[in-house]
Chains A and B, each alone.
Chain A
Amino acid sequence: MTRSLRFALGAAFLLVATPFFLAACDGGDIASDVDSLLIDARIARQSGDIEGAISLLETAMAQAPDNAPVRVELSSAYFDRGGIDLLDVDRVALFLTTFEENLRETPDVPVQRSGGTCQYADDPNAQPFNPDEYDGYVDLYANSDLINSVLGLLNGVDPTGIDLSIIPEELRVISLCQGIVDGQLIYDRDEALASMRALGLSDDEITTALAVNAVARFFEAYFFIAEDIPQQTSWYHVQGQSGDYIGVCADDQDALREQVEEAIEDLGESITSLDLRDQVIGGGTASQELVQHVLDAYEAIEDDLGPYCEGGA
């Protein structure tokens, strides 16, 4: 082999091998800093690798537990894995508030009568139903632990007690007596938005956080009502002159209001989250409809389950 041929082969090998070698190295490139982990997780989700994305995000969380974008992305990825989405909220809200003309006449559970009577029991415009009769309820309820994890991500505190909440106070403490007036939500939207932006969240991330929080709060309230109310209740879809609403009978109606207070607050937070999301994305018809459906769900049950409000709010 001549010297020039050896050189030629050497040069050719070097030119060919270098890109292969370096690309192969990149193929195994493991992101280590939080920003790269977040980017790789988003790319993994984009390509459909949910488990890979969650693994990357959990690694990022371990490194920076107070990183708001990571918490938002992880909460969204958890829901992605659980198959829970915003449409489920819409569908359950419609289930809870819609009077079905052709629904069966006999409820699955014995009708309980508050103080011996239930005002809806013999009402021809009242239709008994169970909150857990929703199609797909079992699959949804299987995710109740997941929902708690998501709420922990969006509203958690660190071990030293520092508040890591992503969802601002303005959304969390809305007064259902004074916060909803004539179907309109009263809270400081600008302040709430500013609080979330101050955490370093982009508008896209804020939109995601609000959607995830709305879903989580809604289902937390729904599961409590369907599973955890400590006394027997009977539920009715009622056709009223001013629209459908939900009637509830319990042995102790006042105790029931206290028992569901947190669930009603969760429902309120779900509404404000959807409302603020609507503002961030520009207030289109579909997102306004969604806000309205959840608001309808709240208003449908507030007579029997909502807090007593002085002045009749």
Chain B
Amino acid sequence: MRFRRLFLVLLLASPFAAADAQTFGTLQQDARPHVAGLQVRAMGGAVAAVPMAETAFFYNPAHLARLDLSKPRITFVGAGATVSNQIFAEYRFVRDELEPAIDEGLEEIRLEDYDRLVELYERALELGSSQTTATFTAYGPSVQMRISDNEVLGVGLFGTNSFRMQFTDAGVVVPRLDAFDQLDLRLPVTGSYGIPNSPLAVGVTASYTRRYLTAKGALLEELDADEEHLYVLKGNSISFDVGIHAEDVMPNLDLGAAFYQVVGGGFNYSYDSRIDLTGNDGPNDEAEIAALEERFNARESKPTYRIGAAYRIPIPPSAQAFVDGVTIATDYVSASTSEYDQPTGAHFRMGIRADIGRILSVQSGYSQGYPSFGASLNLPIVHLEYAYFGIEDGRTPGQLGRYNHHIQVRFGLF
């Protein structure tokens, strides 16, 4: 069996890219469709009150009214990738150990080389102590433009594909594979309005999302070397997010809040197609399809929110030639980053951002006990960005931390 295909198919199921780890982990509820912002990651996720072009579609629609859009801001195309630290080790394990073992037959190995089988199981569980995730993002055309002094409109096309894999112990050292992949194609339309003679701006985003997802959960010993399929479910959703931003409520102090999926957002999944991992065709496993539909239709899609404050540190005149602005921010985010309900402190985010000479932006943050940092090179027609961040897959900070790299490039008229 080409078991590596499972890994690769899930990883590269589309030219688009995957979920954001923050929502991706929330398996108990339907993940909110959005594109994770790289600068948001680098800032630890504290952006509710920090307007940026990349936060206007997916983090706070009211930000759109705060952008400097003397001319339309257009993105032609772009791509990004987020991978967890150990994805390469896990890929090598699948390629060099697991796939050959499954091809040979675990039963044969059990009879002839018991120690190898034990080593295989233990290695799977060792790697499985942390999730392996990968997200690929494709930026299609998008535009943000001012249509009057107070009204701003944005529309874009985005694709994300998220992959997650881990091995857990199903009892008495029997590894269980838990793999998941989700592809979202999303068309958001954002409108924002700066309320005259007030510090307030409001916004709303209406989004259409088409989602494809698949999952494979099985004991390692049960993976069929001759006939294994991935069954793909499909669902559609229309949702509405709203946001508000208040500028200078006190000197240099801004506030922001966004409420996601206040209307809509639910998916009704049904079987769409299958991916044959072994090339041996064979009938569909109707029981597995039914179980997948039941599992994912049972997920709830409930509204979440984000509120935050940001303080723009006054820059001394002597430094203004080098530094355009420094902002520190704090958010409270209601959504959990894992399958578990998390305590209050795990929902806070903190970040700082410095804009240097209009073409360079550096960010750092602290979220759930994990630091983050990143940098963006903002040239007129290309943006090149990198971020490194941690995320909690457990319940409380420090239990199941996972660090990730995020890199992306976008081309447009910025």
- Whether B366 sits at the interface, judged by CB under 8 Å, is yes
- Whether A40 sits at the interface, judged by CB under 8 Å, is yes
Interface string of B69-109 (1 = CB under 8 A from A): 00000000000000000000000000000000000001100
B170 x A208 contact (CB < 8 A): yes
B172 x A12 contact (CB < 8 A): no
Contacting residues, chain B, for A182 (C-beta < 8 A): none
Say whether, besides A90-B110, A282-B222, A284-B222, A43 and B400 are in contact (CB < 8 Å).
yes
- Whether B250 sits at the interface, judged by CB under 8 Å, is yes
Contact of A47 among B314, B340, B350, B400 (CB under 8 A): B400
A287 x B222 contact (CB < 8 A): yes
A281 x B222 contact (CB < 8 A): yes
B287 x A282 contact (CB < 8 A): yes
User: Quick one: which of A274-302 are within 8 Å of B by CB?
Assistant: 281-282, 284-287, 289
B171 x A208 contact (CB < 8 A): yes
User: Quick one: which of A255-313 are within 8 Å of B by CB?
Assistant: 281-282, 284-287, 289
B345 x A23 contact (CB < 8 A): yes
Segment among A14-22, A109-117, A230-238 that sits at the interface with chain B: A14-22
A18 x B350 contact (CB < 8 A): yes
- Whether A215 sits at the interface, judged by CB under 8 Å, is yes
Say whether, besides A36-B395, A207-B171, A87 and B346 are in contact (CB < 8 Å).
no
User: Quick one: which of A7-48 are within 8 Å of B by CB?
Assistant: 7-8, 11-12, 15-16, 18-27, 29, 31, 36, 39-40, 43-48
A9 to B353 CA separation, bound complex (whole angstroms): 16
A23 x B173 contact (CB < 8 A): no
Residue of A nearest to B171 (CB): A208
User: Quick one: which of B342-359 are within 8 Å of A by CB?
Assistant: 342-346, 348-350, 352
- Whether A76 sits at the interface, judged by CB under 8 Å, is yes
Residue of B nearest to A208 (CB): B171
Shortest beta-carbon distance, B5 to chain A, in Å?
Answer: 19
User: Quick one: which of B363-393 are within 8 Å of A by CB?
Assistant: 366-369
A26 x B346 contact (CB < 8 A): yes
Segment among A77-85, A119-127, A243-251 that sits at the interface with chain B: A77-85
A87 x B117 contact (CB < 8 A): yes
Residue of B nearest to A83 (CB): B173
Contact of A24 among B253, B345, B349 (CB under 8 A): B345
Residue of A nearest to B225 (CB): A285
B330 x A15 contact (CB < 8 A): yes
A90 to B30 CA separation, bound complex (whole angstroms): 41
- Whether A186 sits at the interface, judged by CB under 8 Å, is no
Contacting residues, chain A, for B311 (C-beta < 8 A): 8, 11-12, 15
Shortest beta-carbon distance, B115 to chain A, in Å?
Answer: 10
- Whether A86 sits at the interface, judged by CB under 8 Å, is yes
- Whether A91 sits at the interface, judged by CB under 8 Å, is yes
A85 to B346 CA separation, bound complex (whole angstroms): 36
A4 x B343 contact (CB < 8 A): no
Contacting residues, chain A, for B367 (C-beta < 8 A): 19
- Whether B290 sits at the interface, judged by CB under 8 Å, is no
A15 x B350 contact (CB < 8 A): yes
B174 x A85 contact (CB < 8 A): yes
- Whether A211 sits at the interface, judged by CB under 8 Å, is yes
Between-chain CB contacts (< 8 Å), 17 pairs: A16-B350, A18-B330, A22-B345, A24-B369, A26-B342, A29-B343, A43-B395, A45-B169, A79-B173, A85-B121, A87-B117, A207-B170, A208-B171, A211-B172, A281-B218, A286-B219, A287-B221
Further contacts, 15 of them, CB under 8 A, given A15-B329, A43-B395, A46-B394: A5-B314, A7-B250, A19-B44, A19-B348, A26-B343, A43-B394, A72-B171, A86-B173, A90-B110, A91-B114, A281-B219, A284-B219, A284-B222, A285-B107, A287-B222
Interface residues of A (CB under 8 A from B): 4-5, 7-8, 11-12, 15-16, 18-27, 29, 31, 36, 39-40, 43-48, 72, 76, 79-80, 84-87, 90-91, 94, 204, 207-209, 211-212, 215, 281-282, 284-287, 289
The 5 A-B residue pairs with the shortest CB-CB distance in the complex, in nearest-first order: A208-B171, A26-B345, A22-B345, A85-B173, A286-B221
